[in-house]
């Protein structure tokens, strides 16, 4: 899995950080920061859920 984030689109809801803190973080303004662009299988479900619940659709996934 490959993860990409569109920071200008982010609305700082923080759902991704709560669901997958090993993969996402937030800067001082609450904007998403990607910690791991290629997470391991243990994070796949939480990363998929993060992308699904992101209110700004700022997370894109590509499955390898």
Q: Is the pTM of this model over 0.85?
A: yes
> Is 59 exposed, middle or buried (CB count within 10 Å of its CB: 0-12, 13-18, 19+)?
buried
Structure confidence by residue, pLDDT tens digits, 18-61 = 999 999 999 999 999 999 999 999 999 999 999 999 999 999 99
Q: What is the pLDDT of residue 34?
A: 98
Q: What is the pLDDT of residue 50?
A: 98
Q: What is the pLDDT of residue 52?
A: 98
Can you give the length of the chain in residues?
A: 64
Which CATH architecture best describes the domain 2-62?
A: 2-Layer Sandwich (3.30)
The beta strand positions in 1-64, using DSSP E, are 2-5, 24-26, 32-34, 59-62
């Amino acid at each position: 899995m490959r993860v990409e984030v569109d920071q200008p689109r982010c609305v700082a809801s923080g759902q991704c950080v709560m669901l997958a803190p090993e993969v996402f973080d937030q800067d001082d303004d609450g904007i998403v920061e990607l910690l791991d662009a290629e997470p391991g299988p243990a994070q796949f479900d939480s990363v998929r859920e993060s992308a699904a619940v992101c209110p700004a659709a700022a997370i894109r996934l590509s499955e390898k």
